[in-house]
Amino acid sequence: MDIERRSGCPINLAMEVLGDRWSLVIIRDMMFGNRRHFRELLTRSDEGIASNILAARLKRLVALGLISKQDDPSHSQKSIYSLTEPSIQLVPVIASLGAWGRRHLPVSEALSIRARLLEEGGPAMWEAFMTDLRAIHITHPIDGANGTIGSPVLDGLTAAYRATLAATRDRDDGGTPQMP
């Protein structure tokens, strides 16, 4: 698998890699929800991605080196998907894109609290988050996938999300967003 390379512009090439409806959403779920198995990405997604599209995107992202795939020793049929260094370095991109979306698009309060914290935390927090992500995705992918080891930064973001979700659940919407 290879990209088209219509030009050597960084923005163009980035859009050839990430310029579709689902790739960055999948990376977001792996990064912030620690979704590491196909089923988790399929069923615990707020947006409801179709299974064939998820399969195609995962295959493509693996081929492009943005995620890696390995067997799960706890279950012969399971695979563990992990972020790689290039996708972990998307943290600043996702942080600024989230900050932009929060300002200009009709976001929900609960789902945007993490974007707010990440923006307020600034580059220092992003670096700490990336260090955590390297531990649970690259250094210890299996323990990271099964929850044996976690991420302090991610725990903080998730706690804030849960708290906001609990506080807003019965007051502003009828839906039931997935717990991370």
Partner DNA sequence: AACAACCAGTTGCAAATCGCAATCGGAGGA
Partner DNA sequence: TCCTCCGATTGCGATTTGCAACTGGTTGTT
Partner interacting with residue 112 (select from its own copies, DNA, none; CB below 5-8 Å by kind): its own copies
Cα 148 → chain centroid? 19
Partner interacting with residue 166 (select from its own copies, DNA, none; CB below 5-8 Å by kind): none
| Closer CB to DNA, 47 or 172, in the complex | 47
Nearest to 110 by CA among 43, 31, 155, 177: 177
Using rule CB under 8 A, residue 171 touches its own copies:
no
Partner interacting with residue 56 (select from DNA, its own copies, none; CB below 5-8 Å by kind): DNA
Interacting residues with DNA between 50 and 69 (CB under 7 A)? 50-53, 55-56, 58-59, 69
| C-beta pairs of 127-130 under 8 Å, 24+ apart in sequence | 128/152, 128/153, 129/91, 129/153, 129/154, 130/88, 130/89, 130/91
Stretch that binds its own copies, among 69-77, 105-113, 134-142, 147-155 (CB under 8 A): 105-113
Which member of 14, 15, 39, 143 binds DNA (CB under 7 A)? 39
Distances (CA, A) of 80 to 30, 111, 119, 168: 11, 25, 29, 33
Using rule CB under 8 A, residue 138 touches its own copies:
no
| Closer CB to DNA, 69 or 103, in the complex | 69
| Closer CB to its own copies, 101 or 156, in the complex | 101
Strands 79-83 and 67-71, bridge-based pairing: antiparallel
Stretch that binds DNA, among 71-79, 94-102, 125-133, 162-170 (CB under 7 A): 71-79
Distance CA 28, CA 142 (A): 19
Q: Is 66 exposed, middle or buried (0-12, 13-18, 19+ CB in 10 A)?
A: buried
| Least spacing, CB of residue 41 vs DNA, in Å | 8
Distance CA 92, CA 84 (A): 15
Using rule CB under 8 A, residue 15 touches its own copies:
yes
Site for DNA, rule CB under 7 A:
20-22, 37-40, 42, 48, 50-53, 55-56, 58-59, 69, 75-79
